[in-house]
């Protein structure tokens, strides 16, 4: 086989680089899709009080931080923390929906870690009694272990809780630490839910300007 000319070698190198770049782009898309599935599965398991299935989405030393309840470290603590919402499994006359929405996912350069910002809308209630509307913003971290994406840090900031009968004319404070199921550590941030206002820091830069969005205090 005759040796390649300089022009042919240059062209071949360019094609190899193009293929490598395309492979990386395809892998990023697969990673984003896998994390979207992870987030959605989390929401569906949470809806039906499948605490063991929720916990299995985490790495062994993962953390869970819900509202102002504090930080739960490691899968045994995370599983115990799930009992803050009631016992394992479906319960008659109870509604416990947590709809996961608007995920914005950022994959690291090495493809082994990622972060997301997404929203939850909660529909909670007991038949014939109270109903609660709620919402919050997640800023989460993920790790790829043996080719599988898992939660590293799950952190939801409560935006509001409001009694269904009152609509948005009233607010309820974000839940505080439980004396019955105490956290392993304090909350990493202190803030006020509606009627207070809080802006959790954006993990990503502005997609057009490339700037970091500064924290702005509520007026």
Check whether domain 6-166 has CATH 3.10.450.50, yes or no: yes
Task: Report the C-alpha gap between 70 and 120 in whole angstroms.
Answer: 19
Task: Report the C-alpha gap between 59 and 149 in whole angstroms.
Answer: 9
Contact present, 138 and 146 (Cβ < 8 Å): no
How is the chain split into domains, by residue range?
A: 6-166
Residue-by-residue DSSP string for 78-133: HHHHGGGG-SSS--TTEEEEEEEEEEEEEE-TTSSEEEEEEEEEEEEEETTS-EEE
Task: Report the C-alpha gap between 40 and 113 in whole angstroms.
Answer: 18
What is Dmax (Cα atoms) for the chain? Answer: 84
| pLDDT tens digits in sequence order for the chain, 219 residues long | 678 787 777 787 788 888 888 888 999 999 999 999 999 999 999 999 999 999 999 999 999 999 999 999 999 999 999 999 999 998 899 899 999 999 999 999 999 999 999 999 999 999 988 899 999 999 999 999 999 999 999 999 999 999 888 877 888 889 999 999 999 999 999 999 999 999 999 999 999 999 998 777 777
This model's pTM is above 0.75: yes
Task: Report the C-alpha gap between 122 and 112 in whole angstroms.
Answer: 31
């Amino acid at each position: 086989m005759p040796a390649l000319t300089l022009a042919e070698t240059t062209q071949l190198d360019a094609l190899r680089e193009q293929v490598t770049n395309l492979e990386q782009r395809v892998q990023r898309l697969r990673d984003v899709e896998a994390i979207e599935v992870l987030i959605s599965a989390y929401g569906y398991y949470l809806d039906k009080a499948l605490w063991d299935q929720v916990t299995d989405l985490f790495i062994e030393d993962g953390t869970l931080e819900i509202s102002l309840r504090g930080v739960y470290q490691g899968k045994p603590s995370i599983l115990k923390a799930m009992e803050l919402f009631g016992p394992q499994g479906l319960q008659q006359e109870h509604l416990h929906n947590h709809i996961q929405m608007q995920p914005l996912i950022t994959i690291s350069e090495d493809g082994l870690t990622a972060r997301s910002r997404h929203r939850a809308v909660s529909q909670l209630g007991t038949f014939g009694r109270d109903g609660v509307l709620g919402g919050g913003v997640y800023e989460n971290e993920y790790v790829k272990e043996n080719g599988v994406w898992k939660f590293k840090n799950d952190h939801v900031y409560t935006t509001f809780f409001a009694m269904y009968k009152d609509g948005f004319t009233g607010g309820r404070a974000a839940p505080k630490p439980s004396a019955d199921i105490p956290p392993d550590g304090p909350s990493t941030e202190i803030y006020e839910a509606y009627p207070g206002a809080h802006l959790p820091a954006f993990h990503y830069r502005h997609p057009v300007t490339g700037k970091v969005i500064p924290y702005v205090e509520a007026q």
